[in-house]
Each structure stands twice: as structure tokens, then as C-alpha cells.
Amino acid sequence: MGQNFKVIWAKSAVDDFEEIIDYMAQDSPLTARKLFTQIKTKIETLRSSPHRGRHIPELQKQGILIYRELIIPPWRVMYKVYENKVYIMAIIDSRRNVEDVLLEKLIKKK
């Protein structure tokens, strides 16, 4: 049996997830509930296979290889693996420029 990893959500990822679900629920609570389940289920699969996500291409070009992502169209779940933990860092809309989104998050923190 393989190693089981612990999944830890960063506050920013929780905020992203809540914003997505709240926005979707305005139009369709049923769609929001389905999306909630879909994203949570996919993230839970990282417990047993955290390295299956691809390196984030925009960061990989800069030589940054510690972050990975799962694609759940149109969402990108960004995470990193460290020791026996998977840290969920952000959930962003894949139709947006990732550099712009990350810059917004950095500015928002200040």
C-alpha cells in the first residue's frame, strides 16, 4: 500500500473555492453543489498520488518546479507537495492569465 499524504488548504485557496462556489450558486445552486463535489473529490485523490499533477507551465518556464496543478475545466488547482503533505495554494480560472492572478494575490496580501 502506498503512502497516504495529508491535504492542507491555504487560506487563499479556501477563499478562492468559496468565491467560486458562491458565484456559481447565484445562478444555480445545483450546479454549484456539483462543482463543489467535483473539485473536492479530485483534490482528495492527491492523498494517494500527489505527483500526478503537471508542473505549472508558466512557473516551469521560470525554473520554478515546486508547484503542480490539477485541471478541472475551467479551473486550475495549484498545489505543492512537501514531505508527506499536499498544500492546496490556489484555485483559479484557467481562462485568466496566471501571472496576473498571482500578482493580484500578492498585492491583496499587503
pTM: 0.87
Q: Report yes or no on 31 lying in a domain.
A: yes
Number of domains in the chain: 1
The reply to whether 41 falls in a domain is yes
User: Within 13 A of 4's CA, how many CA atoms are on the CB side?
Assistant: 2
Asked, for residue 45, whether it belongs to a domain, the answer is yes
Question: Residue 29 sits in which domain range?
Answer: 6-109
Q: Which helix (H) or strand (E) holds 42?
A: helix 29-44
Dihedral-angle region of residue 81 (phi above 0 means left; psi in -120 to 50 means alpha; beta otherwise)? beta
Tell me whether residue 1 is in a domain.
no
Q: pLDDT tens across 56-104, in order?
A: 988 888 898 999 999 999 999 999 999 999 999 999 988 877 777 777 7
